[in-house]
A and B are shown apart, each in its own frame.
Chain A
Amino acid sequence: MFILRFLARRLGQGAIIIFLVSALIFTLLRVVPGDPVRLMVGGMAPDTLVEEIAAEMGLRDPIYVQFGRYMGNVLQGDLGESFVRPASGAAVGGASFDDSTRGERAKVLDLIAETAPMTLQLALLAMVFALMIGVPIGVWGGLYPGRLPDRLALYSSSLFVSLPNFWLGIVLALLLSVKLNLLPAIGYKGFSYTILPALVLAVEIAPFIIRTLTVSVAGVMGQSFIDIARVRGLSRNQIVFRHALKNSAVPLLNLLGVQFSMLLGGVLVIEFIFDYPGLGLLTINAVMQRDFPLIQGIAIVTAAVFVLINIAVDLLATAIDPRLDY
């Protein structure tokens, strides 16, 4: 029953969040300068044609009418069609006002379904790298509060958090790809193309893991049940790995949930630098081209993923620590 109640409540809250995000994005897109129809029909098309097409597409209706129509379609699983992208998925510019390929515009859901796995792969690998960097340093620092490992954890996380990701991306590409020829850097033709951008993202996330773990491990190690474990004769390794880490995992889990959601929605710069064909690159091009349906679709999907990840994280947390009640 707990599960059902929990899911019903959290999914209901999630639906409200997604609705609000959709309404906000939808409204903002329509009030900022830049007419998408002008981009669609090409600069040389007459104004009358721009207005004619805009009216045909319902873009001159009041915003609440447009939004109602849009949400009606979304509820039926239809996120609409891109304004500018053809079915091939290429990032295109406007052609001409009699562009016959308009009838074959890519479906927003297809574009997202094609690119989301790429970003998911990137985000997962980034999390793995971040954990590989962050967990040893963070735990080590937490086990020796106030001493050298703690200071090293602080310095390294300060260093990592200070490196701008676009700079680090270029430097790592120059070093690992250009100089050492170890890894490909640009585009995507296989798993190896994910490693460099994931590494850059990992350096961005690692400081949060380091700081969270350092603080929570230090806190747990100071609690009385750890002292009792020592009295019970457990070895230090047993205390650390069986008890301290498990109890330190809940804040880390929450952090990872938030970071993972942010990665899925916020890898714009990295995907642009590495020309990595994921959701981030798709978003940048959609914004550049005023591709309203695509921007709205991405916003809805990422908001939904954010909600689902947070529900999963809370469930996991209650599984680790049954005292928690969400």
Chain B
Amino acid sequence: MDRRSFLRYGALAGTALGAARINPDFFFSSAFAQEARPLVFLSAENITGNWDPTAHTTLSQTNIEGFVMGYLTRAPMRPDDPEKVVYELATEITELDAHRLQIKLRDGITFHDGKPFTAEDVKATFEYGAQLDRPKQVYPGGPDTFAVETPDDHTVIVDTSKGGYGASLFIFLASYLPILSAKDVAGGPKGPLSQRLNGTGPFRFVEQRGNDTVMEAYEGYFRGAPKVTGVTFSFVGDATTRMLSLMNGQADVIERLEPEQVETLEARDDIKISRLVSVENKYLWFRCSKPPFDDWRVRRAACHAIDRSMIMEIMGSAGEASSNFISPIKFGYIDLENYPEYDPDECQRLLAEAGYPGGEGLPELEYITSTGFYPKTKEYGELIAALLQEQGFPVKLNVMEVAAWNERLYDRPGGGPGHMVDCGWSTGSPEPDLVLRTHFHSSAKRICGIVDPEIDAALDAERDAPSLEARKESLQTNLMPMLADKAPALSLFTSVLIHGMRSNVDGLFIYPDGQSDASRTTLS
């Protein structure tokens, strides 16, 4: 065979093989030729691949759960009434006494797999979500600290007398963990829970197709079938790409807009902007279990070196000033009087008292932050590093891509990498314990790694208070001021959640944690 024949026959064979494999749909499927179509939501964050709602603390996946799953209550968490809850699968929650809470459930509801929703599902969810080995362990103690009775199919009684804490803690937690089917829970963490979402929400989980999570309207939703045919929730990593998608109509809603993007989009008639004070605070976490930040005076000195008003200028519309360790839309928030403000003299006094006059003797301090996930982290990281250096802290800023930062984020034996880490924390419930206990109790330390018996006692005291009012007082007069003094972290500001959406999207309710209620949404 000569070279020309070889080429000729080779080309023919290749063409024949290729043609046989071509699916015409691969080429032709117009994006613009759709009438009744799903709502397209572009997310800035990827998902985990394991659908068990207790297996992760990933916001994007929590947002997907918000479309599919049902909750006993929902918490709109608006600044004017942060404690408001709206009943969903529950119709009534009553404190029978300090340790007993009665929850009445809605009748006639079914999961997407057809199974009726009953009190057994709530019991199974509470017990499963409380297991200490669940990454999103949410209830105040392990499952042996409370008991759940189900006198009938639509009544649940939670008794926390074994744990010694108030049952009122479950009120806000009820709007945090979605209700799972007892049948799914019985399969355990490796069972059906991890394979797909099965809820009672307005949209039914259909499939994960590449980076698209496909959901369709659930006809049997108890408040009536949604108007849109479904929701396509897609991970698109690049902020500019998300913005272009919104501008050309390929996306209906996009999240995590940068302030500059807001300015661009606000000038357009076909796009509207939603701004919400979010549940997320951004923190500078100190590694409290290793020097020099194992000394509260050094931590507090660092806090006094940072001028948060300058950070707010950098953040623009993406940040809201706050002076506490939780967002202003959480239960118990107050502006703390002793919250550390910019005060160079106090910084120097504390440094000298700790044995580092003018910063002399301090080791080189690594400040770890990320770029590309939270807005402006690099910009205000540079500012914080400069402000700290001004007071004598030998700070080296390390700006990392998200995966590398995430790998170094959490506390480890010996203190974890670096000395300071920038990270936000966000939980979709007014319950402050989900932030405070998670980070500052020695049994559950996440990033700062603090072990302090006084803080533990203050956390337990507010948890064990017999009523919501007593808890609020304990939080505001004991725990929160103590945290401000000991400064295991500095909460820099509260994030503002900014969504962009097409102006034809009506009736989309966005919660301050990023979840959305699209059950009444129309695309006019």
Point out residues on A near B: beta carbons under 8 Å. Answer: 2-3, 6, 33-35, 38-39, 42-44, 47, 84-86, 88-101, 117, 170, 173-174, 177-178, 181, 184-187, 189-193, 272-275, 277, 284-285, 288-290, 315-316, 318-319
Query: In the complex, are the beta carbons of A184 and B49 less than 8 A apart?
Result: no
A2 CB contacts on chain B under 8 angstroms: 2-3
Residue from A3, A47, A92 within 8 A of B3 (CB atoms): A3
Q: How far is the CB of A268 from chain B (nearest CB, A)?
A: 12
Query: In the complex, are the beta carbons of B28 and A177 less than 8 A apart?
Result: no
Query: In the complex, are the beta carbons of B55 and A99 less than 8 A apart?
Result: yes
- 15 inter-chain pairs at a CB distance below 8 angstroms, sorted by A residue, are A43-B406, A44-B135, A89-B209, A90-B235, A91-B235, A93-B406, A99-B55, A177-B244, A186-B244, A186-B250, A272-B241, A273-B240, A273-B241, A274-B241, A316-B7
B313 interface hit (Cβ, 8 Å) = no
Query: In the complex, are the beta carbons of B245 and A42 less than 8 A apart?
Result: no
B6 CB contacts on chain A under 8 angstroms: 3, 315
Point out residues on B near A: beta carbons under 8 Å. Answer: 1-4, 6-7, 25-32, 45-50, 52, 55-56, 58, 133, 135, 189-191, 194-195, 207-211, 213, 234-238, 240-241, 244-245, 247-251, 401-404, 406-407, 409-410, 412-413, 446
Question: Do A90 and B47 form a contact, CB below 8 Å, given A44-B446, A47-B412?
Answer: yes
B4 CB contacts on chain A under 8 angstroms: 319
Q: How far is the CB of A186 from chain B (nearest CB, A)?
A: 4
- Once bound together, how far apart are the Cα atoms of A315 and B238, in whole Å? 41
Query: In the complex, are the beta carbons of B248 and A178 less than 8 A apart?
Result: yes
Query: In the complex, are the beta carbons of A95 and B412 less than 8 A apart?
Result: no
- Once bound together, how far apart are the Cα atoms of A178 and B264, in whole Å? 13
B26 CB contacts on chain A under 8 angstroms: 117, 190-191
Q: How far is the CB of B181 from chain A (nearest CB, A)?
A: 17
Query: In the complex, are the beta carbons of A190 and B402 less than 8 A apart?
Result: no
Q: How far is the CB of B113 from chain A (nearest CB, A)?
A: 19
Q: How far is the CB of B51 from chain A (nearest CB, A)?
A: 8
Query: In the complex, are the beta carbons of A184 and B234 less than 8 A apart?
Result: no
Query: In the complex, are the beta carbons of A88 and B209 less than 8 A apart?
Result: yes
Query: In the complex, are the beta carbons of B49 and A88 less than 8 A apart?
Result: yes
Question: Do A88 and B403 form a contact, CB below 8 Å, given A98-B133, A273-B241, A274-B241?
Answer: no
Q: How far is the CB of A123 from chain B (nearest CB, A)?
A: 14
A93 CB contacts on chain B under 8 angstroms: 45-48, 58, 406
Query: In the complex, are the beta carbons of A185 and B27 less than 8 A apart?
Result: no
- Once bound together, how far apart are the Cα atoms of A90 and B51, in whole Å? 13
Query: In the complex, are the beta carbons of B403 and A290 less than 8 A apart?
Result: yes
B3 CB contacts on chain A under 8 angstroms: 2-3, 6, 315, 318-319
Given contacts A95-B58, A97-B135, A192-B30, 13 further A-B contacts (CB under 8 A): A33-B404, A34-B407, A39-B403, A39-B407, A44-B446, A90-B46, A92-B49, A94-B48, A95-B50, A187-B234, A187-B245, A290-B403, A319-B3
